[in-house]
Structure 1
Amino acid sequence: MRSPHTTEVCGVRILDQSPIDIINIYRPPIRATNDEREDRFDPRCLPVNRQTLLVGDVNAHHPAWDRNCDLEDAVGDRLDCWLEDVGWSPLNSGDPTLISYRTGGQSAPDLAACGPELAVRTRWSLGPDLGSDHLPMVIEIRGVSDPPQRRRKTRWAHHRADWKKFSDSCEEALREAPPEELSTQQLYTRFSTALQTASKAHIPKGARRDPKPWALHPEVQRAVEERRAARREVHDPESKARWLEAKRRAAEVTERVTQQSYRDFVSTELNQSTSVGRVSRLLKKWEGAEDDEQRDGEAMRVGNRLLVTAEEKANAFAHQYATVSRQVRAPKIDRATRRRTQQFDHYNCADCQNARTGCCSPFSEEELVLAIQRTQLRKSPGPDNITPEMIKHLGPVARGALLKAINRSWKTGEVPREWRAATIVPIPKANKDKKLLANYRPIALTSCNSWNANCERRPGS
């Protein structure tokens, strides 16, 4: 909540090859009559350097940034003198940024200013009407080099998949029986290649950010467009009244559609069997609360070091997890483990006496089908990029190819490299500072085709 008695200032530093400091300021207005507050605003207290950008609602008017102002006020004159002393200039074009609710007058009490070195790389414009009496100022700053484009990770759009063609494609690719001399790795590579080829052809991918549940409602879009059009046409008391009416109507429509969408959400999504975490994320998104994602470019801290780039963060996470892992790779220990493993070739099983019966027998197709039925859907894939939805829509030939690879691994003890690899994803702990590396826990995404779950469900294994 803004204070009516004091100037508020906050700052943020954008870390890049040339860091930029953005100072956001709000100075409450002091009326000319019936206002006993004393104005002590002094711009000389603000930080100034070549890479500083000053923006905010200063409630000051001067012809330098307000074309509708014929005579500057005291604070506007004070700011203009300070800008001249430090060698800065306003970025505003002079267009009004405010329409008064009381009088309908248009003015520019909002200011954006910086030094000449930053000004040549900066472009000022007005943003769209967001429902306030102020219009947002949009300031674009060109970097010294082209910034890396943010690329959201693409995901399989299973709801748009052509599962019939996907299944037929897998059946056709795996119909021919493989040679008996193929190893476990070769059998699984053949299977996964067929699935990935069919997936690229018949399952689309996307990386679109999910909008708020009500934002794309046609009635809300029409009301917002009418409000923006009415604001652009404000020039007299009658047009001002039309704008205020359109603004009120847009707020009412948004509130009504939001409530209806929330009731629909409660009666559908919340009544289904789902995880508490998913419901919590949906509610946070609905309320516009802060989510648990780490923003691109948001700095992290490890000891006295500040991590900015994605590569620095990834290396720090890898080092952190390697130091706490119980399976740290050590060549000397690995060689001893391999020697002990080779001795198992001559080991007699106490349960079946190497006859491969009972719990040591090959897995049956019924066991595989049961395991597929029990697999949870809507899970992130492992390094092989194969999801449970793909496995669920396999035909009998493709299931047989997967079963052959699983049984070959069960018999020989050879594990395909895709089953031994994992994608480590750092998840922030609840209510912890996301800038600290220690406040993340690792989640390992493994292949959904691993036979560990089948072994655990088999009695005696």
Structure 2
Amino acid sequence: MTTKSRGHQLYDLIDEFDLCVLNNGNFTTINYPNRNPSAIDVSFCSAPITPLCEWWVHDDCMGSYHFPTLTRVLLSVDRYQINPPIEKFLYNKTDWTKYNELSISAFSNFEVNNENPLQSYDEFIERLVTLKRDTVPKFVKSNNYRCKPPAPWWNDTCEQSVIKTYKALKLYRRDPTIDNYINYKRLDAVKKKTISEHKRNGWANICNIFSRTTPVSIIWKYIKLFKRIKCNNITYKDEFFVPLLEKLSQNECRVIDNLESYFQINNSIQKSSFLIEPFTWSEFCTSLQSRRNTTPGLDDCPYILIKNLNQSVQKKLLANLNALWHLKKIPESWKTQCVIPILKLDKPPEDPNSYRPISLSSCVGKLNENMIKMRLECYVEANNIIPHVQYGFRRGRSCADSFISLLSDLKYANNNNKSSVCVFLDVQGAFDNVDPGILVQLLSDTGIPDHNVDRAVNSINKALDQLYIYYNDRLALQINPNKSKAMIFSKDFPSNGILYNNHQISVVPNHKFLGVVIDNKLCFDLHINHIITNSLKGLNIIRCLAGVTWGADPKVLSMLYRSIVRSHFDYSCLAYSNSRCVKKLDIIQNKALRIISGAMCSTPIRAMEVETKIMPLCIRRLLLIERYLLKLLSGNDNVLKKIVHFPIQCSAQQTLRGELLRGYFPVLPLIVMQMNEDFKNMVAKVSSLCAVLFMIPNPSLVKVFFWTLNAVFSLQRYMRPSRP
């Protein structure tokens, strides 16, 4: 055997570092027909650990010319904990037609016991669990079975393509003919194409769930899963769970005397029997359809099992729930919940206070609670029990309504040379200390006098004293003065401080309210810088995905840009649209367009916008303002009346040019779309509102026919004629 110079160098390195070769002589490459195989892949280790090493060649080459070589080092005894078998139900592989048919026979002799509905409910859940075990396929993980979890995009098609390729490879190794080799290479190419397509489509489907509120760490976690990078789990000691359990548990439960006194309603509103009537079939169907497939409670009965039951079985469940509702009985499974601590965003994982408890409740119990909630919403909204200034957790209300109401008051005071004081209070342990037996009563309005700032601060201090008595005595809640902040919108600085329960509330020049950074000058420069900081994190993700095959599709990148970058621009654009720093956002979008389209720095911006089908931010803001204005016209009269009551004065010439005065709130869009005959009344309302807001007798509205324009993105008309 002859050895070349590189071989002699390898031998010298082995002798110099005292290395041992672990190869056992097996071939590590796929040989071409009429050629000898090779063992070119060599593994080395130091001499002391050579007896502890096991070396072998893997059977699957995984699309490469070389077979993987595996080495196991037996350094110590395996100390992994032996867990009990895991049983996982595969709902995506269930034959729901068969499940629906078998549910009829499973509940054929089931009858609701109106005298003892708890026993009937337990029997119903027991039969439902038995039906699930008989019809839903399951994956069982034994004690000694260990495997790497599959990728998020992996499915049966990918698995079958890999199996076919592996069988063709084994056939070729047994019979190395040209036909078997061609068949193996053909199936291997099909396997690579199938995996690449499913990987690309899987990432596109995951991008649909991303939004502005999705943490960047979650997106990076999905990227690591697609790149097959293992995410290490944090190991906790037993001492970690002691303070966490003490935080979640309570030594005693507060008992409220005269509970009915807290639920007294105005005498003009009579008690309605609608709230105590049995639930109807339409209420049950509406509530069930609105439920998403979330993780079930300890009874292990998700919504998908209830949705696919036969209609006759669902009516039996409704009858059982009505019997429980009539006798005011609650099953024990509804009272027992599985509490899982979830790490808060940007919090240290070693601190037990950094976790938020999430409870996994029974899906049937949550379905019953949702029907009750729907009735309460209808009753409360019909009788105007909740004040109109309450925007959270109400249908048809949003954060934009609350923010616009506050901003309108601040703008009105600023335009009339008045001072405003705004205090942002933080309830300490709001979700942990909420008493379910007490309903929040209407807070009295605390008007700010039209005099100097000191008097306004004194009025705020009196209101805070009353608020302390209300929260501490009536609601058993406490305000956290360390997290509470105050802002003063005035040129003068107050000589008196702002106190709450003899604690000083710090006066800050800016504060984040509902995700918007408000400064005392109302110029929103800090908020735009905050938006840029968040958008750059998403831009790094797009830049990372542009370099891989499964994420470099321009359509997928455009979708991801709209979800995690442009969504930050859209939120609260009503506030900062007149800021002097708004053009900074255009620079961020231009960078994203170049990454998505792969264009050079000299490429015109308008060409990239046409190529990626992403509109300019200035037009996007006007479109969102139009949508919000039409939403106010459709029903939210409280915010609309406040905006109309505090009109924004602007000259007609500036309005027609689209140049609103800086520092004023842009409540009216400058572009009004042409509508058909059914929307003429809406156009008239917009025109009259324009006259009220801008003091224009006959406003000239610029009409753009968006849905009548046919955009042609093809460049075929500009192509040169073919030369002979």
TM-score (norm 1): 0.56
Aligned in 2, Cα 1:399/1:224: closer, same or farther, shift over 3 Å? Answer: closer
Alignment of 1:89-108 (within 5 A): 90-97=21-28, 106-108=38-40
| Letter in structure 2 aligned against 1:329 | S
Match of residue 415 from structure 1:
330
Match of residue 126 from structure 1:
57
Aligned in 2, Cα 1:440/1:179: closer, same or farther, shift over 3 Å? Answer: closer
Structure with bigger RCO (C-alpha 8 Å, 6+ apart): 1
Aligned in 2, Cα 1:441/1:114: closer, same or farther, shift over 3 Å? Answer: farther
Query: Do the aligned residues in 1 keep the contact of 2:28 with 2:68 (CA within 8 Å)?
Result: yes
Report the alpha carbon displacement of residue 329 of structure 1 after superposing the two structures with TM. Answer: 2.5
Report the alpha carbon displacement of residue 372 of structure 1 after superposing the two structures with TM. Answer: 2.0
> Does residue 331 in structure 1 map to residue 263 in structure 2?
no
Match of residue 99 from structure 2:
163
Equivalent residue for 2:67, pick from 135, 143, 157? 135
Equivalent residue for 2:321, pick from 406, 429, 435? 406
Query: Do the aligned residues in 2 keep the contact of 1:160 with 1:204 (CA within 8 Å)?
Result: no
Query: Do the aligned residues in 1 keep the contact of 2:169 with 2:184 (CA within 8 Å)?
Result: yes
Range that drifts further, 355-364 or 142-151: 142-151
Query: Do the aligned residues in 2 keep the contact of 1:425 with 1:442 (CA within 8 Å)?
Result: yes
Aligned in 2, Cα 1:163/1:224: closer, same or farther, shift over 3 Å? Answer: closer
Report the alpha carbon displacement of residue 195 of structure 1 after superposing the two structures with TM. Answer: 1.4
| Letter in structure 1 aligned against 2:66 | H
Range that drifts further, 404-413 or 199-208: 404-413
Distance 2:303 2:373 in 1: 18
Query: Do the aligned residues in 1 keep the contact of 2:101 with 2:310 (CA within 8 Å)?
Result: no
Distance 2:114 2:333 in 1: 21
Aligned-pair identity in percent equals 17
Match of residue 121 from structure 2:
188
Range that drifts further, 351-360 or 134-143: 351-360
Query: Do the aligned residues in 2 keep the contact of 1:97 with 1:134 (CA within 8 Å)?
Result: yes
Match of residue 198 from structure 1:
131
Secondary structure, aligned partner of 2:70? strand
Match of residue 194 from structure 2:
257
Report the alpha carbon displacement of residue 386 of structure 1 after superposing the two structures with TM. Answer: 0.7
Report the alpha carbon displacement of residue 191 of structure 1 after superposing the two structures with TM. Answer: 2.4
Distance 2:36 2:353 in 1: 53
Aligned in 2, Cα 1:321/1:402: closer, same or farther, shift over 3 Å? Answer: farther
Deviations 1:370-413 (A, max 9, x none): 3223323x433221111212212334664455335534554565
| Letter in structure 2 aligned against 1:253 | V
Distance 2:46 2:364 in 1: 57
Aligned in 2, Cα 1:153/1:356: closer, same or farther, shift over 3 Å? Answer: farther
Distance 1:32 1:436 in 2: 59
Secondary structure, aligned partner of 1:94? coil
Aligned in 2, Cα 1:401/1:424: closer, same or farther, shift over 3 Å? Answer: same
Query: Do the aligned residues in 1 keep the contact of 2:22 with 2:42 (CA within 8 Å)?
Result: no
Query: Do the aligned residues in 1 keep the contact of 2:291 with 2:303 (CA within 8 Å)?
Result: yes
| Letter in structure 1 aligned against 2:123 | R
Range that drifts further, 432-441 or 134-143: 432-441
Query: Do the aligned residues in 1 keep the contact of 2:278 with 2:325 (CA within 8 Å)?
Result: yes
Distance 1:117 1:194 in 2: 58
Aligned in 2, Cα 1:93/1:166: closer, same or farther, shift over 3 Å? Answer: same
Match of residue 391 from structure 1:
306
| Letter in structure 2 aligned against 1:331 | N
Equivalent residue for 1:373, pick from 289, 296, 314? 289
Match of residue 76 from structure 1:
11
Report the alpha carbon displacement of residue 154 of structure 1 after superposing the two structures with TM. Answer: 0.3
> Does residue 216 in structure 1 map to residue 159 in structure 2?
yes
Secondary structure, aligned partner of 1:215? helix
Report the alpha carbon displacement of residue 171 of structure 1 after superposing the two structures with TM. Answer: 2.0
Secondary structure, aligned partner of 1:107? coil
Q: Which has the larger radius of gyration?
A: 2
Structure 2: gaps of 5 or more residues: 142-148, 381-724
Distance 1:82 1:444 in 2: 58
Distance 1:428 1:253 in 2: 42
Deviations 1:308-339 (A, max 9, x none): xxxx58x85x557546x6xx32223x1x33xx
Range that drifts further, 252-261 or 383-392: 252-261
Report the alpha carbon displacement of residue 231 of structure 1 after superposing the two structures with TM. Answer: 6.2
Distance 1:230 1:433 in 2: 55
Distance 2:36 2:351 in 1: 49
Match of residue 226 from structure 2:
288
Aligned in 2, Cα 1:428/1:115: closer, same or farther, shift over 3 Å? Answer: farther
Secondary structure, aligned partner of 1:79? helix
Aligned in 2, Cα 1:229/1:425: closer, same or farther, shift over 3 Å? Answer: farther
Query: Do the aligned residues in 1 keep the contact of 2:301 with 2:363 (CA within 8 Å)?
Result: yes
Report the alpha carbon displacement of residue 452 of structure 1 after superposing the two structures with TM. Answer: 1.9
Secondary structure, aligned partner of 2:159? coil
Aligned in 2, Cα 1:441/1:74: closer, same or farther, shift over 3 Å? Answer: farther
Alignment of 1:274-353 (within 5 A): 275-276=209-210, 288-290=226-228, 298=232, 300=234, 307=236, 316=240, 322=245, 328-332=248-252, 334=253, 336-337=254-255, 340=256, 343-344=258-259, 350=265
Distance 1:438 1:454 in 2: 34
Secondary structure, aligned partner of 2:359? strand
| Letter in structure 2 aligned against 1:144 | V
Deviations 1:207-229 (A, max 9, x none): 596673452344x6444544565
Query: Do the aligned residues in 2 keep the contact of 1:167 with 1:395 (CA within 8 Å)?
Result: yes
TM-score (norm 2): 0.39
Secondary structure, aligned partner of 1:154? strand
Query: Do the aligned residues in 2 keep the contact of 1:174 with 1:194 (CA within 8 Å)?
Result: no
Equivalent residue for 1:452, pick from 360, 365, 369? 369
Distance 2:343 2:47 in 1: 39
Deviations 1:429-455 (A, max 9, x none): 899999999998665332211222112
Distance 2:85 2:348 in 1: 25
Query: Do the aligned residues in 2 keep the contact of 1:187 with 1:405 (CA within 8 Å)?
Result: yes
Match of residue 23 from structure 1:
none
Aligned in 2, Cα 1:427/1:330: closer, same or farther, shift over 3 Å? Answer: closer
Coordinate RMSD, CA, aligned: 5.2
| Letter in structure 2 aligned against 1:216 | E
Structure 1: gaps of 5 or more residues: 1-30, 34-60, 62-72, 301-305
Match of residue 460 from structure 2:
none
Report the alpha carbon displacement of residue 265 of structure 1 after superposing the two structures with TM. Answer: 7.1
